[in-house]
Structure 1
Amino acid sequence: MRYAGGWMTAADDRILEYLSENETGSPAKMKREGPIRYSRQQINRRCKRLAEEDLVRHLGNGVYIITDDGEAYLDGRLDTENWTYIDDDSEAVEAQDSSNGEASNGGAT
């Protein structure tokens, strides 16, 4: 499960997925080769925003690469609303505490 910030759009996920699979890409190449159904201009705008948020890095000449934070977001390990990493161990502890007779939230996390 991914934890997208309110500032993110569906295009952002597609861009990050493309860069994760292809290592680098430009908005024109993503539009031409990727499964991204947005205009090159929209992809360009979103790449710039993703770079501002450090999920991608601009290498120059319109080429971008995904960062470690971008990969963490795709893996569901980074909440881009609160900019916090999700610790799988702490979630496991919370689930264990609920099974020890404490009030349960119905299985929702």
Structure 2
Amino acid sequence: MRYSGDWMVLADDRILEYIREKDSGRPKEMKDSGYVRYTRSYISKRCKKLVDHGLLRDLGNGVYTITERGERYLDGEIDTSEDAPDEVESRVDNGPSANENHEQA
């Protein structure tokens, strides 16, 4: 599960997914691929926003790559909300810990 901030839009996930799969990308390539179904100018605007939030890296000449933070967002490991800490606490309950089992015995 991904934890997207209020500043994010659906296009952001598509952009990040595309760039992760291709290793890098330009807004025109993303638009032409059909996977990111927005205008080139809108994709470019969103890429800049993703750079501002540390999810993409701008290599210049309109080329973007995904950062480790961007990878971790796609993997559901961080929360991109502006007021939330990056790390996402595990939502899975693995039962009582070894210490709890020992205390019950």
TM category (shorter chain) comes to: 0.7 to 0.9
Aligned counterparts of 1:76 and 1:11: Cα–Cα separation in 2: 17
Root-mean-square deviation (CA, aligned residues, Å) is 1.7
Aligned residues: 95
Structure 2 counterpart of 1:84, from 83, 86, 96: 86
Gaps of 5+ in 1: 101-109
CA distances 1:8-61 after superposition (whole Å, capped 9, x unpaired): 000000000001100000001111124111000000000000000010000000
Contact 1:18–1:34 at 8 Å: present in 2 too? no
Residues 64-108 of structure 1, C-alpha deviations (whole Å, 9 max, x = no match):
0000000000000010011421243xx44x5536xx9xxxxxxxx
Aligned to 1:6: 6
TM-score of the superposed pair, with normalisation by structure 1: 0.80
1:59 partner SS = strand
Unaligned runs of 5+ in 2: 101-105
Which consecutive segments of 4 or more residues in structure 1 shift more than 6 A?
none
Matched, 1:29 2:29: yes
Q: More strand per residue: 1 or 2? A: 1
Contact 1:72–1:78, Cα closer than 8 Å, also in 2: yes
Q: Percent identity?
A: 48
TM-score for both structures, normalised by structure 2: 0.83
When Rg is computed on C-alpha atoms for both structures, the one with the higher figure is: 2
